[in-house]
Amino acid sequence: MIIHSILDSVGATPIVRLSRLFRDSRCEVLAKLEMFNPGGSVKDRPARYIVERGLAEGSIRPDSHIVESSSGNLAIALAMVCRIYGLRFTAVVDPKISPINLQIIRCYGGNIELVTEKDRQGGYLETRIERVKRVLREQPDAVWINQYGNDRNWQSHYHGEGEEILRHLDHPVDYLVLGVSTSGTLHGIARRLREAWPNLKVVAVDAVGSVLFGTPPYPRDLPGIGASRVPELLKRDEIGQVIHIDDYESAVACRELVKHEGIFAGGSSGSVVAAIQRLSTRMQRATRILTILPDRGERYLDTVYDDDWLARMKSRHLARKSGCSIDARLGQTA
């Protein structure tokens, strides 16, 4: 098969049964491998969808300067898309972004704006967005993608993974378990699947320390899941349950995933696997669970797959566990 550009290979990612990792479980666990996208993550989908539709309708012009706040993967995806369409791109990032991701963005020709001041929640999201707004004021040709409030974010997943899952699965799943940050991926997939499977239960996986569901801020290192600000796209009433996973639990699950399944995945993949492990122990009958694994593991070599970093996260995990649990339904303490 010959394609017109690298962007034509976005999507059509495979679904794998995690039969080894969940060998002794009542649950059948299926995972869609979004790291197979050409830019290495699920964020290729909204990057392509938003830019191409913006160009088609004129809200993005050939001389536009695309700007976005990102923890890494969307910035990489946008840098790739903008390179194909000849658009200038600036990523507003914070110190949590990995050096590998920074280098990838620069290799695609993207510019970097680094914020170092934390916001009122102890994260960087609000200060990143303020920097984006400053760029918009200073540069009339700048266009903000705004993954936190742009309906095309969730629509890209509705028409993308949602459609693909329905084509490839022969019968419904009982649970959809997905990480949440902007909430675009979760809402897009869930809305499409519920049209066909109205009894589907939706479980959001949030980071310990995220404020998305009313839990208090707490130190966290891994990007890609959780947030220090509630995005405009998030609709809590569409989510049945929330499971909070900390950095250590994410990393341990990542290592188990590569050990048992040979899947070398990133931190948010570990988060959903850890959540499914917790959820599966509560199941009293055979249950079918679907998730997506958002990105690749090589972007986490200095965190998830670094033994010294893991030891620090274990100490933080044990200190936190000495207090109360925040595994919750819609943010209520359990």
pLDDT digits (tens, 9 = 90+) for 116-140: 988 887 778 889 999 999 999 999 9
pLDDT at 334: 32
pLDDT tens column, 181-215: 999 999 999 999 999 999 999 999 999 999 999 99
> CB–CB of 95/116 below 8 Å?
yes
pLDDT tens, position by position, 6-56? 999 999 999 999 999 999 999 999 999 999 999 999 999 999 999 999 999
pLDDT at position 324 is: 53
pLDDT digits (tens, 9 = 90+) for 224-271: 899 888 999 999 999 999 999 999 999 999 999 999 999 999 999 999
* Residues 6+ away with beta carbon under 8 Å from 313: 221, 246, 247, 248, 251
SS3 of the chain: CCCCCHHHHCCCCCEEECCCCCCCCCEEEEEEEHHHCCCCECCHHHHHHHHHHHHHHCCCCCCCEEEEECCCHHHHHHHHHHHHHCCEEEEEECCCCCHHHHHHHHHCCCEEEECCCCCCCCCCHHHHHHHHHHHHHHCCCEEECCCCCCHHHHHHHHHHHHHHHHHHCCCCCCEEEEECCCCHHHHHHHHHHHHHCCCCEEEEEEECCCCCCCCCCCCCCCCCCCCCCCCCCCCHHHCCEEEEECHHHHHHHHHHHHHHHCCCECHHHHHHHHHHHHHHCCCCCCEEEEEEECEEHHHHCCCCCCHHHHHHHHHHHHHHHCCCCCCEECCECC
Phi-psi region for residue 49, left (φ > 0), alpha (ψ -120 to 50) or beta?
A: alpha
Ordered by where they begin, the domains of the chain are 6-37+151-321 (3.40.50.1100), 44-144 (3.40.50.1100)
